[in-house]
Amino acid sequence: MMNFMKTTMLLAALTALFMVLGYSLGGSGGAIIALLVAAGMNLFTYWNADKIVLKMHKAVEVDASSHPEFYNMVRNLAQRAQLPMPKVYIVDQAQPNAFATGRDPEHSAVAATTGLLKMLNHDEIEGVMAHELGHVKNRDTLIMTMVATIAGAVSMLANFGLFFRDRNAGIAGLMAVLIAPFAAMIVQMAISRTREFGADAAAAQISGKPLSLAAALGKISGVAARTPNPVAERNPAAAQLYIVPGGVRQMFSTHPATEDRIAALEAMAQGGGSGGWSSRSDEIGDMGRLRKPSALDPMG
């Protein structure tokens, strides 16, 4: 409940920021227009978030026939999480990453890149997909897409304002145009970082293997930072959708530090808060036996 209230307040702050920017560019009429635009964007995003994100990534839907092991893994995890079966997608991209999208659990989708499927072993992929289903279970997917949409609109409106703002707006108007994108980024970061910890905790419960997710985060975070992501480069607001950020300095990252996430998962394993994996040594033993290239062929 506390996270829900915090997210609601931050989302309201982001919308208010959009209105303030509109006011700085066009007075009270500009604020009203900005509010109507924000409402329209949120409504459009509510119905089309999954389509927008999947099309942006040129994601290809897979099923039990084309990618049986990956699809069945997601199905088993969804059953454990007591979630409806999401649509499952693969993105042909070298950066090892994954994301979830959709307006609610009944209209959700999860996706993994070919880079991630090639890099991780079975248990690690399972941990990653459990994290994405954790976002679905916590109903983060719509919120994160809405936040990315509004934050992107704030930046776009600010860029527009630099060239077409009312010259009579003065210093205050100029400051609003310059500061708004940074303020939007800070709000976006605050929302996303809170939700990443929540999805990690949910993944530990769903998969029962918090150290598998910890191992996956350790493997992919450094590689993701060094591997280009064309989608995120074109639309930086999309960075918060992924399980790990890529090519972003920690100060400006929408995610908590990977080291902090791994430490939290290790604490869950030691404390028994992992849905059945109460012993860290037990999991390390199993992971050692399973530490081999992924058996999931991303190209079918």
Q: For residue 132, indicate whether it is catalytic.
A: yes
Least confident of 3-7, 87-91, 154-158: 3-7
Instruction: Please report the pLDDT score of residue 63 as a whole number.
Output: 97
Is the residue at 296 inside a domain?
Answer: no
> DSSP letters of 200-242?
HHHHHHHHS-HHHHHHHHHHHHHHHHHS--HHHHH-GGGGGGB
Is the residue at 92 inside a domain?
Answer: yes
Higher local confidence (pLDDT), 60 or 140:
60
Is the residue at 201 inside a domain?
Answer: yes
Instruction: Please report the pLDDT score of residue 233 as a whole number.
Output: 81
By percentage, how much of the chain surpasses pLDDT 70?
69
Is the residue at 297 inside a domain?
Answer: no
Question: What's the pTM?
Answer: 0.76
Banded model confidence at residue 300, pLDDT cuts 50, 70, 90: low
Range of the domain at 152: 2-290
**End-to-end CA separation in angstroms for the chain:** 42
Banded model confidence at residue 6, pLDDT cuts 50, 70, 90: low
Is the residue at 295 inside a domain?
Answer: no
Q: How confident is the model over 185-206, as a mean pLDDT?
A: 83
Q: Which of 9-18, 192-201, 248-257, 266-275 has the largest mean confidence? A: 192-201
Sheet holding 60-62: strands in order across?
60-62, 87-91, 108-113, 98-102
Instruction: Please report the pLDDT score of residue 237 as a whole number.
Output: 66
Which listed residue (124, 132, 196, 283) is catalytic?
132
Helix H or strand E segment including 89: strand 87-91
Domain count, the chain: 1
Is the residue at 298 inside a domain?
Answer: no
Instruction: Please report the pLDDT score of residue 275 as a whole number.
Output: 46
> Is the CB of residue 152 less than 8 Å from the CB of residue 196?
no
